[in-house]
Structure 1
Amino acid sequence: MVFQGEVLPIAALLERARTASSVTPGAGIGVRHTAAGNAARCAALLTAGDTVEAAWRFGILQTLDDYTSTFRRGGAALASGVFADEPAYTGSVQVDAAFAALADYLAERDGWQVPTWALDPTRRTSRWFPAVPAIFKTEAQQESPRAFRQRGIFITGRSLARA
């Protein structure tokens, strides 16, 4: 390793690493993106003529990614903050139900309190298969997590799988 024009021996590198302040990347950073913010963007997408499937991909899957990133930085207590503020209604009953389902699903999975807004009975739809091809609808009815199924949303086990 070259440091300011000099090559440091391994012992010096180890000593420098041992005495360096420990800084965890992302430490001290709170919640950056929220379900409420993503819902507002979904409302704008829908108003501009985008489909509910596009709102699913952007709103719900992006919120899942935001939650996962926050969880990795600060654990469940911090990550639950992604859902602290109630998302405004988007103009799509399906998408509104999906935000509630995602909050309920993650709260149950990771052991935090489901936000009150997610239990609102108006955040339900009759029967929606977001981004599920017809050939996989039976699979979605069998695999959909309780939080989604109770709100009329049917997804496959792969629907929430993220890279």
Structure 2
Amino acid sequence: MTYQGEVLSIGALLERAQTGSATTPGAGVGVRHTAAGNAASCASLLAAGGSVESCWRFGILQTLDDYTSTLRRGGTALAAEVFASEPAPTGAIQLDAAFAALADHLAERDGWQTPAWALDPARQAEGWFPSVPAIFRAEAEQDSPRAFRQRGIFITGRSLSRA
């Protein structure tokens, strides 16, 4: 079996894994996906007739997954780069506000500087409950993190939970 150009036996691979001399998969890889890229994909999805709700799942939750993966792989400084470039308008103010809210929320949670674009007061929705059934709206109004609530987006405590 080959490992970084070397031909190694299974035993040698196991030994490297046990001694910690093997490199972590993905180590040295920078940011793979960004909020700006996911917002552009949402804009295309919306232009093709997709819903704002589907863009919440694809754009916002995908960005959360991308951030979490980058955080695990490269730490906080690298993960913050997921939000370094300002996402262009998607065509739905709710999504534009949600990208800003997510950046602000994660910056506050993980201790990095919120990007200036995320503080733009124009990134504001009005009473949007993405993927929150009516029965859970009171809970969302109460539990929504500050960054989302401040921008008029109401989510439950489970809305940002990922498997």
Give the Cα–Cα distance (whole angstroms) in 2 for the partners of residues 70 and 82 of structure 1.
8
Q: Are 1:138 and 2:138 an aligned pair?
A: yes
Percent identity over paired residues: 75
Q: Say if 2:123 and 2:151, in contact at 8 Å, map to a contact too.
A: yes
1:21-60 equivalent positions in 2, closer than 5 A:
21-60=21-60
The residue aligned with 2:3 is none
* 1:55-83: CA deviation from partner (whole Å, max 9, x where unpaired): 10000000000000000001110000000
Q: What is the deviation of 1:26?
A: 1.1
Give the Cα–Cα distance (whole angstroms) in 2 for the partners of residues 68 and 153 of structure 1.
21
How many residues matched? 156
- Give the TM-score taking structure 1 as reference length: 0.89
Aligned in 2, Cα 1:43/1:22: closer, same or farther, shift over 3 Å? same
Give the Cα–Cα distance (whole angstroms) in 1 for the partners of residues 58 and 75 of structure 2.
23
RMSD between aligned residues: 2.2
- The residue type paired with residue 131 of structure 1 is S
Q: Which has the larger radius of gyration?
A: 1
Aligned in 2, Cα 1:133/1:14: closer, same or farther, shift over 3 Å? closer
Q: Say if 2:16 and 2:22, in contact at 8 Å, map to a contact too.
A: no
Q: What is the deviation of 1:7?
A: 9.2
- Give the TM-score taking structure 2 as reference length: 0.89
Secondary structure in 1 aligned to 2:29? coil
Aligned in 2, Cα 1:20/1:35: closer, same or farther, shift over 3 Å? closer
Q: Which runs of 5+ in 1 are unaligned?
A: none
Give the Cα–Cα distance (whole angstroms) in 2 for the partners of residues 52 and 13 of structure 1.
47
Give the Cα–Cα distance (whole angstroms) in 2 for the partners of residues 129 and 89 of structure 1.
20
Q: Are 1:128 and 2:133 an aligned pair?
A: no
